[in-house]
Amino acid sequence: TKERLEQYFSKMSQLRAEVKLELGTLKKEKAMFMLQNPEKSVAQRKIEWAGSEHGNREILLESYKTAMGDHLESLKTRIYSLL
């Protein structure tokens, strides 16, 4: 039903917002990580970050954020088709 789709859309929107907030925290951590070891090249620090636990989490959350955006657009289309 339309109501259930709207509830699901709302929950997915909330989840996407939480993902974005966690990504913000990870990006701050990444900035601090990049300031460490200035003798290493930027490329080397980026590789090390991506290989770290928090870097892996950032990669995963970026993928989730993109997938959720696509899913939300699909839900929006379904909801409007029921109007």
The answer for 37, left when phi > 0, alpha when psi is -120 to 50, beta otherwise, is left
Report the pLDDT value the prediction gives residue 1, as an integer from 0 to 100: 84
Structure tokens at 30: 């990444």
pLDDT digits (tens, 9 = 90+) for 2-54: 899 999 999 999 999 999 999 999 999 999 999 999 999 999 999 999 999 99
**pLDDT the model gives residue 83:** 82
Q: Is the pLDDT of residue 82 over 90?
A: no
Q: Distance between CA 22 and CA 57 in Å, rounded? A: 10
Distance (Å, rounded) from C-alpha 46 to C-alpha 18?
25
Whether the per-residue pLDDT at 70 is higher than 90: the answer is yes
pLDDT at position 8, please?
A: 94
